[in-house]
Amino acid sequence: SLSERLGGVFDRLRGRGALGEADVRAAMREVRIALLEADVALPVVRDFVEKVTERAVGHQVIKSVTPGQQVVKIVNDALVEMLGGEEGGAAAELELGVTPPAIIMMVGLQGSGKTTTTAKLAKRLSEKERKKVLMASLDVNRPAAQEQLATLGGQVSVATLPIVAGQQPVDIARRALNAAKLQGFDVLMLDTAGRLHVDQALMEEMKAVADVSQPQEILLVVDSLTGQDAVNVAKSFSEQVPLTGVVLTRMDGDARGGAALSMRAVTGKPIKFAGVGEKLDAIEPFHPSRVAGRILGMGDVVSLVERATETIQADEAEKLAQKMAKGQFDMNDLRAQLQQMKRMGGLGALASMMPGVKKVQNAMANGQVDDRILVRMDAIIGSMTPKERTKPELLNAKRKIRVANGSGTTVQDVNRLLKMHQEMATAMKKIRKMGGLKGLGALFG
C-alpha cells in the first residue's frame, strides 16, 4: 500500500523535525503512482503533485506519527480540498430557487447512467423535498429510451411526459416546458440522448435544448469507471454547455475514485452526487473526504494523524490552561506560542484558538502581513527583563519606551502586544468558567 511505500521512503529520516525537499520528492513519486493507479488523469496528477510538494516541504512532523504518515495526511487534506472541501453536502444542493419550474438537464455519454440518475434524483426530490417533479426523455436515438424513463417513473411514482412519436428533442423540450408550467410542476428534469463517443451532432443537439429550456442545472453524468478517458469527456462537454455540476455513477464498482479528482480539476464544477448502485435509491451526496480516502486507500492513517494532532494540541493547551489558572501565563509562554506559530505556519496549539493571535494569523493568511510581525513581537518580548516577562503589569510608560527602543519598535507596537496577551488571558478565564478544555469548542468553535 501507499502507506508501506512511504514508510520505506521515510525510514531513514525518523526523528527529524521537518520534511526536507528531497524526502518529499521521493514520497511524491509514490503518491504519483497511487494516484495513477486510482485512475486520476495524468495532467491532473502532475498539477496535484506539484502543489502538494510545495505545501509539504518544511512541514513539521508531529511527534507520535511517522513522516510517511504525516505526508499521507497532507496529501489527503489537499485531495479533500480539491474535491470540494469538507462540506460536500452543501455543494450537493441543487439550485432550485427559481420561479417554478426549475429545470435540470442531464447530459453525458451513452450508458453513463443519465436515465437512471434522472429517476434517482426525481425520487429524491419528490420524497425528501416534497417537490412535484416531471421527467421528460429527449432521447430519440436509442430505441425505447423514452419508454425506459416512463417505466422508471412508474417505479418511483414520478410523472413522465406523455410520449409523442416522431418528435425531435428540441420540440419535446418545448412541450415539456409548457406542460410543467401549465400543470404546476416544481421541477422539470430533461434526460437527453447520449452517444458512444463525443460528436458534434450530439453537442449541437444539447446546445439547442439548453437554449430553449434555459436550465438552472446542467449536470454531467460520468461513469467513474471511465478512468483516464473521463477527462476528455468532461472537457468536451464543459466547452459546449455551461455545466453546473457533475454526477459520478458506478461508485459502487471497483473504481478507486480517481475520476472524481479529474472531473473536478477539468470542469471546475462541484461533484454533486455519487451513484452507488442500480437501485433507484442508490444515490448520495458526494463526500470529498470519503473519496479522498478511497483514492489513497488509507483512511486509517489520516485519522491516526488527526488524532495525534488533537492529542498534542490538547496536551499543550491543558498545560497552558493550568498555568493560566494559576495566573502564570506570561510573556515567556506567549513567546513560545508565537515561535510555534512561525515555525509551523500558523499551527500554534493554543495560539491559534486565541482571539488576539487569530487576527494576526488571518492577516498573515490574507498576505496583509508577513513573518516580520512575528519577528517584531519576538523582539519586543526579548527586550523585556526576565521580571517584566513574568509580570507584564510592571510595564509602565517609562519601561515601555525602553522596550520599544530596545526592540526597534514603537510604544504602540508594545501596547498592541500587551493587549494581545491580555485578550488571551481573558479568553483563558472564560475557558475555565466554561469547564476547562471542554469549553474550548463552544468558545472558539
Q: Which partner in ligand GDP, Mg ion, none is near 250 (CB below 5 to 8 A by kind)? A: ligand GDP
Instruction: Kindly state the DSSP code that residue 162 receives in the 8-state scheme.
Output: P
Smallest distance, Mg ion to C-beta of residue 114, A: 5
Query: Strands 283-285 and 271-275, how do they pair?
Result: antiparallel
- Residue 160 labelled as part of a binding site: no
Q: Which partner in ligand GDP, Mg ion, none is near 275 (CB below 5 to 8 A by kind)? A: ligand GDP
Residue with cell 475520476: 259
- Residue 108 labelled as part of a binding site: yes
Q: Which partner in Mg ion, ligand GDP, none is near 252 (CB below 5 to 8 A by kind)? A: ligand GDP
Q: In 38-184, which residue ranges form alpha helices assigned H by DSSP?
A: 42-56, 67-82, 88-91, 114-128, 145-156, 169-182
Residue nearest to Mg ion (CB): 115
Are 332 and 389 contacting, i.e. CB atoms less than 8 angstroms apart?
Answer: yes
- Residue 130 labelled as part of a binding site: no
Are 203 and 234 contacting, i.e. CB atoms less than 8 angstroms apart?
Answer: no
Q: Which partner in Mg ion, ligand GDP, none is near 249 (CB below 5 to 8 A by kind)? A: ligand GDP
CA atoms within 13 A on the CB side of 384: 26
Three-state DSSP state, 217: strand
Q: Which partner in Mg ion, ligand GDP, none is near 140 (CB below 5 to 8 A by kind)? A: none
Q: Which helix (H) or strand (E) holds 305?
A: helix 299-325
Figure out which of the listed residues 275, 346, 356, 392 binds ligand GDP, where binding follows CB under 6 A: 275
Smallest distance, ligand GDP to C-beta of residue 237, A: 13
Shorter beta-carbon distance to ligand GDP: residue 145 or 351 = 145
Are 300 and 114 contacting, i.e. CB atoms less than 8 angstroms apart?
Answer: no
If one asks whether residue 198 binds ligand GDP (CB under 6 A), the answer comes out as no
- Residue 345 labelled as part of a binding site: no
If one asks whether residue 400 binds ligand GDP (CB under 6 A), the answer comes out as no
Are 317 and 440 contacting, i.e. CB atoms less than 8 angstroms apart?
Answer: yes
Figure out which of the listed residues 111, 184, 327, 441 binds ligand GDP, where binding follows CB under 6 A: 111
Give 370-422 as a DSSP string: -HHHHHHHHHHHHTS-HHHHH-GGG--HHHHHHHHHHHT--HHHHHHHHHHHH
- Residue 111 labelled as part of a binding site: yes
Smallest distance, Mg ion to C-beta of residue 118, A: 8
Applying CB under 5 A, the site for Mg ion has a residue count of 2
Binding span for ligand GDP by CB under 6 A among 62-70, 104-112, 228-236, 261-269: 104-112
In angstroms, rounded to a whole number, what is the distance separating the alpha carbons of residues 373 and 356?
A: 13
Give 15-42 as a DSSP string: T-SB--HHHHHHHHHHHHHHHHHTT--H
Q: Which residues contact 109 (CB under 8 A, 6 or more apart)?
A: 194, 195, 196, 197, 198, 222, 223, 233
Binding span for ligand GDP by CB under 6 A among 88-96, 108-116, 342-350, 382-390: 108-116
Residues 163-194 as b or e (16 or more Cβ within 10 Å = b): eeeeeebeebbeebbebbeeeebbbbbbbbbb
If one asks whether residue 146 binds Mg ion (CB under 5 A), the answer comes out as no
Shorter beta-carbon distance to Mg ion: residue 217 or 333 = 217
Shorter beta-carbon distance to ligand GDP: residue 192 or 216 = 192
Residues 89-118 touching Mg ion, rule: CB under 5 A, are 114-115
Figure out which of the listed residues 18, 26, 58, 110 binds ligand GDP, where binding follows CB under 6 A: 110
If one asks whether residue 184 binds ligand GDP (CB under 6 A), the answer comes out as no
Applying CB under 6 A, the site for ligand GDP has a residue count of 18
Shorter beta-carbon distance to ligand GDP: residue 116 or 289 = 116
**Rounded to 5°, angle at Cα 271 from 195 and 126:** 85
Residues 215-254 touching ligand GDP, rule: CB under 6 A, are 249-250, 252-253
Binding site for Mg ion (CB under 5 A): 114-115
- Binding-site annotation, residues for GTP: 108-115, 191-195, 249-252
Residues at the site binding ligand GDP, with contacts judged by CB under 6 A: 108, 110-116, 194, 249-250, 252-253, 275-278, 282
